[in-house]
Structure 1
Amino acid sequence: MRYNWINAEEFSFNSFLLLDRWIIEMICRDYREWTEYEQSLGAALAYNPAVAWYFVQRSPESKAYVEQIIAAAAKGLSAEEVRRAEVFVLQAMETSVVYAYPEIMNRNCNYIYDWDKKHLLDLADFRDALVLDVGSGTGRLAFAAAEQARRVYASEPTDRLREYIRDKIKRENVSNVKVLDGTADSLPYEDNTFDIVMSGHVVGDHYDLELAELTRVVKNGGVIIDCIGDDDHKRKPDDELLRRGFEVFYHVSKSGGDIYTYRKKITK
């Protein structure tokens, strides 16, 4: 699915030098059956040795694959042909490339700019709560919760996004948001720490692992919230979350999307 979050022709292939290990690994792991993508990536890396070097150094588990697709790349490509390959890869990976440019992410991702914070704050009592935001991104949920919460921990595995949140904290003099690393299935927090654990556009790759980790760090009697942003997508409720006992809430976004948010009180 193309989201049109970026126009790849406006971006340098060097954008990949700004991305983290987990993204580089995903780029080299999850699309091997897509022939046009693999050929384009091989060509782009073959003619961008600094980026190829970075891929191997940043994600050593991808080394053999990178070497393989570079070796298979066409020889003697023109500058125009190389650029077409770069643009193809940049556009195909737009949902990752945009992480390197948080301001563009805020401006171009409708799930951020069309979202109303009331869709989060209506789901739980955030007053004086200790809150964890998993996969915080540019801080959509974290800064909304911080208006009422005692403290919010923004857990984000992407360095450029962590730095963006830290800069916003400093720029806006926010005193109760703390930024740390961490993924949904590996959070750097003690058991039974938080009153509220929330996320959006995060849970769904490995439900059992992710929800087990979110449950581990929430207190007995605490709440887990899944609160996606408002986009124009037509969707159905998440059967996996419903099967695991989550309540579901529905609204139509400004752009006509079907938006479902979820909440579950945890008893241990």
Structure 2
Amino acid sequence: MSYNWIKPEEFSFNSFLLMDRWIIKMMCNHHLGNNEYDKNLGIALEYNPAVKWYLFHKCPECKPILEKLTEGVPKNLSSDEVRKAEIDAIREMETSIVLVHPEIMEKNCDYIYDWDKKFLLELADFTDKLVLDIGSGTGRLAFAAAQKAKRVYASEPTDALREYLLDKIKHENIDNVTVLDGTVEQIPYEDNTFDIVMSGHVVGDDYEREIAELTRVVKNGGYIIDCIGEDNRKRKPNEELLKRGFEAFYHVSKTGGDIYRYRKQVVK
């Protein structure tokens, strides 16, 4: 699915050199398997040996998978054929390309630039709370919560985004946001640490494991919040969250999308 966040023709295939190990693993786990994409990525890698070498060494566990893609790639393709394959591979990886270009993500992703912090702050009282933001991205939720919270811990597995968050903290003299590495499946904190744990566009690959981990680090009586951004998509309530005890809060975005936010108070 394309979100039209970028124009693939404007990007070099060297953008893949900015991908960290987490993104490469995500690419192999979630994008490969589409025959056309696999073919295009194989061509692009074979004709860009520096990128191929980087991916193999940055994420050695993915090397056997990526090696198979380059087997049998024709050696006599024209520069136009190679560029077409590169563009198609970039288009497929649109959501990851913006992760390694945070300034483009901040500018072009509607779920960020169209969002209003009121949609988060009305879900809970953040005043003087300890808050964890999972998959913080460019800090949409983290910096909104930090205006009221005692401290916000922004957990983000992508190197480029952690650097972006740290730069923003420095440039804007924000003193109550801490940036760290971590994923929703493995949160690097002890049980019962936070008053509020929040995320947006993160939960959904493995509900049982993810929600169990979120619940583990929330204090008794604390909240888990799922707060997506704004877009124009038509969607229905998330039945997986509802059946696990989450409340749903609905509004229509400025562009006509169905936006559902979720909250659950944890009782241990």
CA distance in 2, matches of 1:72, 1:26: 24
CA distance in 2, matches of 1:196, 1:77: 54
Range that drifts further, 68-77 or 258-267? 68-77
**Superposed displacement of residue 67, structure 1:** 1.6
**TM-score, normalised by the number of residues in structure 1:** 0.98
Match of residue 9 from structure 2: 9
C-alpha offsets along residues 178-232 of structure 1, whole Å, 9 cap, x if unaligned?
A: 0000000101111100000000000001101110110010101100000000111
Q: RMSD across aligned C-alpha pairs, in angstroms?
A: 0.8
Match of residue 127 from structure 1: 127
CA distance in 2, matches of 1:150, 1:167: 20
Match of residue 34 from structure 1: 34
CA contact (8 A) 1:101 1:160 kept: yes
CA contact (8 A) 1:6 1:108 kept: yes
Range that drifts further, 15-24 or 166-175? 15-24
User: What aligned pairs does 1:37-116 form with structure 2 within 5 A after superposition?
Assistant: 37-116=37-116
Match of residue 151 from structure 1: 151
Q: One-letter code of the match for 1:6?
A: I
Match of residue 160 from structure 1: 160
> Unpaired runs of 5+ in structure 2?
none
CA distance in 1, matches of 2:206, 2:137: 19
CA distance in 1, matches of 2:195, 2:25: 33
CA distance in 1, matches of 2:31, 2:74: 19
- SS of the residue aligned with 1:251? strand
Q: One-letter code of the match for 1:127?
A: T
CA contact (8 A) 1:115 1:229 kept: yes
- SS of the residue aligned with 2:126? coil
**Superposed displacement of residue 122, structure 1:** 0.1
Q: One-letter code of the match for 1:233?
A: R
**Superposed displacement of residue 63, structure 1:** 1.1
**Superposed displacement of residue 55, structure 1:** 1.0
Match of residue 174 from structure 1: 174
Structure 1 consecutive aligned stretches of length 4 or more whose deviation exceeds 2 Å: 28-33
Match of residue 189 from structure 1: 189
**Superposed displacement of residue 59, structure 1:** 1.2
Q: Does 1:244 align with 2:247?
A: no
Query: How many residue pairs get matched?
Result: 268
